[in-house]
């Protein structure tokens, strides 16, 4: 029995029938489509390919790169990726207690690099090219307007009026997921008094393949290495969390004035700066779906969880969703949309997601608070990690190569 689409639509001839439909052609959806096709499934992916042009990048850590290598995707991305050798955290909160700087380096844990940074638009375009070249994937460049969950399959209706039947729908359609909503899965949401300003930057001095986070009272200001381009040999991406009032004021600045403020916030270690992209503004919020799966539906990526871009966790976590889904589907037998494997997927993801959501929340709020005991706890944590090698290495491994990663 189907729910939520008018009878005439349900009875209409199907345009397409596949094993698995991925909703949403963002970075996570495209990776999911490619990985599901690699596992032998017939896949459709529905969504519009849009260049966001918002100065956003994704830093992917070693665990994610291992997944992309295992899926034979990484060799197609290396020419757009810049390596990250180290991450330096610099306290700029003017806390009344001394808080030391902290550096996490790849060779601390025997790696050549901690990860790589890629421009968001370039990543989506490159993954879309790979999807187009894959004969096991139908790329349907259209929006999903309705979904019906039936006993034996799920049907998606497109704006064009066409339909796609599948055994399983993978919701990768972002925070406002229609797929999640139509399945009756709720969300828990919360907000932060912050806006993230994003941009690509060209600068005078080298970044030495090092990402730097300046921790301020309004949140971190993070610069991450980017690949050079013609006439811009030194480039980095910026994610700068600030109060909504400061974001509004900076929205009104011209490019030269804004670049000067960024160079100043980065304590002039990059020398003079120029904007190398449009600027993006993102109000900071968190969201977690009340469950990650149901009969015929699995939620991944920002359809399942979203949080502020501290410690660059979003897409890294999403790739772990995909790895866990592949692993659960392997044991599914004939019907990949049956409840048992999807319940297994949901259970496998909950602890990892909840640890990140809570960890990011605590880290973010600890910077915003000027309550002395909170500053002392943060200072103690930084001091312990800087002085105690095994603790620092354990924290680094948890960040870049988490044990729950399935690849
Ligand atoms: C400022 C900022 C910086 C970040 N930095 C990092 C980082 O360094 N590292 C990291 O790992 N993560 C980072 N993230 C998170 C990361 O960008 C996201 O996790 C990542 O983009 C994956 O998002 P997604 O594919 O789930 O969602 P989206 O990118 O929102 O994609 C959802 C897709 O679904 C489509 N869609 C929506 N509705 C429909 C519909 N009805 N039918 C069809 N398609 C639909 C949308 O058009 C879109 O293409 C950052 C996030 C922010 C805000």
pLDDT at 13: 41
User: Splitting the chain (407 residues) into consecutive groups of 10 residues, what average pLDDT does each group show?
Assistant: 39 74 98 98 95 90 96 98 95 78 91 96 97 97 96 95 96 97 96 95 98 90 96 97 97 98 96 97 95 96 92 89 96 90 96 87 74 65 71 77 63
Q: How far apart are the first and last CA of the chain?
A: 38
Nearest CA to ligand 1 atom 51: 309
Q: How far, in Å, CA of 216 to CA of 310, rounded?
A: 13
Is 341:329 a contact under the CB 8 Å cutoff? yes
pLDDT at 397: 80
Short-list 290, 265, 291, 259, CA closest to 277 = 259
**Distance from the CA of 388 to the center of ligand 1, in angstroms?**
36
Length of the chain equals: 407
Residue 103 burial (10 A CB sphere; 0-12, 13-18, 19+): middle
Rounded (5°) CA angle 190-194-199: 120
Pairing of strands 219-226, 115-119: unpaired
* Residue 131: partners with Cβ closer than 8 Å, 6 or more residues away: 25, 30, 33, 34, 45, 137, 139
Q: What is the pLDDT of residues 199-238, one digit of tens each?
A: 999 999 999 999 999 988 888 999 999 999 999 999 999 9
**Distance from the CA of 190 to the center of ligand 1, in angstroms?**
18
**Distance from the CA of 27 to the center of ligand 1, in angstroms?**
7
Q: How far, in Å, CA of 9 to CA of 161, rounded?
A: 9
Three-state SS at 401? coil
Q: How far, in Å, CA of 83 to CA of 227, rounded?
A: 8
Q: How far, in Å, CA of 194 to CA of 154, rounded?
A: 39
Q: What is the pLDDT of residues 287-298, one digit of tens each?
A: 999 999 999 999
Assigned CATH for 7-189+284-400: 3.50.50.60
Angle formed by the axes of helices 314-330 and 62-70, to 10°? Answer: 40
pLDDT at 6: 40
Three-state SS at 279? coil
Q: What is the pLDDT of residues 145-176, one digit of tens each?
A: 999 999 999 999 999 999 999 999 999 999 99
Mutate-to-test residue for ligand 1 from 314, 399, 405, highest number of ligand atoms within 8 A of CB: 314
Q: How far, in Å, CA of 127 to CA of 375, rounded?
A: 43
């Amino acid at each position: 029995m189907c729910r939520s689409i008018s009878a005439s639509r349900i009875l209409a001839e199907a345009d397409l029938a596949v094993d698995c439909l991925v909703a949403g052609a963002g970075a996570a959806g495209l990776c999911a489509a490619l990985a599901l096709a690699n596992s032998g499934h017939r896949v459709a992916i529905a969504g519009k390919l849009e260049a966001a042009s918002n100065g956003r990048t994704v830093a992917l850590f070693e665990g994610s790169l291992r997944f992309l290598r295992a899926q034979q995707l990484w060799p197609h991305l290396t020419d757009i990726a810049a390596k990250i050798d180290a991450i330096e955290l610099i306290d700029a909160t003017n806390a009344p207690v001394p808080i030391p700087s902290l550096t996490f380096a790849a060779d601390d844990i025997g790696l050549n690099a901690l990860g790589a940074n890629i421009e968001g638009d370039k990543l989506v375009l490159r993954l879309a090219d790979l999807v187009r070249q894959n004969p096991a994937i139908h790329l349907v460049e259209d929006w999903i307007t309705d979904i019906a969950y039936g006993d034996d399959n799920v049907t998606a209706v497109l704006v064009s009026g066409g339909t796609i039947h599948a055994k399983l729908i993978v919701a990768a359609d972002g925070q406002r997921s229609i797929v999640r909503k139509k399945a009756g899965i709720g969300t828990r949401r919360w907000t932060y008094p912050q806006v993230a300003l994003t941009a690509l930057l060209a600068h005078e001095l080298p970044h030495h393949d090092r990402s730097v986070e300046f921790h301020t009272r309004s949140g971190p200001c993070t610069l991450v290495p980017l690949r050079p381009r013609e006439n811009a040999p030194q480039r980095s991406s910026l994610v700068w969390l600030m109060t909504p009032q400061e974001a509004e004021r900076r929205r009104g600045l011209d490019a030269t004035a804004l670049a000067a403020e960024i160079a100043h916030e980065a304590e002039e270690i990059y020398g003079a700066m120029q904007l190398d992209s449009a600027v993006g503004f993102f109000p900071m919020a968190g969201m977690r779906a009340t469950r990650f799966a149901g009969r015929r539906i699995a939620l991944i990526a920002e359809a399942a969880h979203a949080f502020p871009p501290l410690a660059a966790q979003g897409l890294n976590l999403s790739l772990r969703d995909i790895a866990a889904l592949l692993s659960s589907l392997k044991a599914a037998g004939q019907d990949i949309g049956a409840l048992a494997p999807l319940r297994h997927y949901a259970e496998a993801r909950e602890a990892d997601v909840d640890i990140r959501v809570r960890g990011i929340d605590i880290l973010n709020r600890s910077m915003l608070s000027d309550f002395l005991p909170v500053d002392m706890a943060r200072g103690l944590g930084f001091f312990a990690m800087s002085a105690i090698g095994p603790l620092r290495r354990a924290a680094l491994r948890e960040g870049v190569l988490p044990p729950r990663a399935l690849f």
